[in-house]
Amino acid sequence: MIRTILGLHAGAGEHGVHSVLIDIPDQMGLIRPVFRMGMYQAFPLEVCRWLAKAGDKPSRESRYFDNACKIIADQFSTLALSTIKEANLKEESIFAVGCDSSLGAMEGSRRFLAFRGWGPGQDISQTTGLSVVSINSDGDAGRSSSFDPVFSYPGASIFAQGNEPVLMIHLGGVIKISAFAPGLPSLTFQGGPCASLFELIFNTESTALLGVDFLSKRAVQGKMQQPLLDKWSGLAMRCMPFGKSKSRADCALFLEEIQSGYKDHDAEDLLCSAHHFVIELIKNQMEKVPAEYKGGRYIITGSHARNGFLRHLLGLALADKKLEIADSCGIPAPSWDSFSRALVATYALDGVNPLAGNSRTTIRPLASFYPGSNASWGKCLRWMERHSRQAG
Q: Please report the pLDDT score of residue 390 as a whole number.
A: 64
CA-to-CA distance for 51 and 328, rounded, in angstroms? 33
Q: Please report the pLDDT score of residue 354 as a whole number.
A: 40
Helical segments of 87-148, H only: 121-128
CA distances (Å), 207 to each of 113, 273, 345, 349, in order?
20, 24, 30, 35
Q: Please report the pLDDT score of residue 11 as a whole number.
A: 84
CA-to-CA distance for 64 and 257, rounded, in angstroms? 26
- Residue 302 is given by DSSP the state S
Angle at 65 between CA 63 and CA 68, to 5 degrees: 125
| CA 111 to chain CA centroid, nearest Å | 15
Dihedral pair phi/psi, residue 22, rounded to 5°: -130, 150
CA-to-CA distance for 378 and 75, rounded, in angstroms? 26
Q: Please report the pLDDT score of residue 331 as a whole number.
A: 92
Helical segments of the chain, H only: 45-54, 65-86, 121-128, 149-159, 195-201, 212-220, 226-239, 248-258, 267-286, 308-318, 336-351, 374-391
CA-to-CA distance for 51 and 255, rounded, in angstroms? 16
- Write the Ramachandran bin of 377: left for phi over 0, alpha for psi from -120 to 50, otherwise beta: alpha
The CATH code of domain 149-333 reads 3.30.420.40
CA-to-CA distance for 55 and 308, rounded, in angstroms? 26
Q: Please report the pLDDT score of residue 297 as a whole number.
A: 93
pLDDT profile of the chain (392 residues), mean per 10: 93 87 77 90 87 62 84 97 97 96 81 85 97 78 50 77 89 91 88 87 57 82 92 83 50 74 78 94 93 94 93 92 91 93 90 45 71 95 78 56
State the pTM of this model: 0.88
The CATH code of domain 3-142+336-391 reads 3.30.420.40
Q: In what order do the strands lie in the sheet with 323-325?
A: 187-193, 174-180, 166-171, 297-301, 323-325
Give the domain ranges of the chain: 3-142+336-391, 149-333
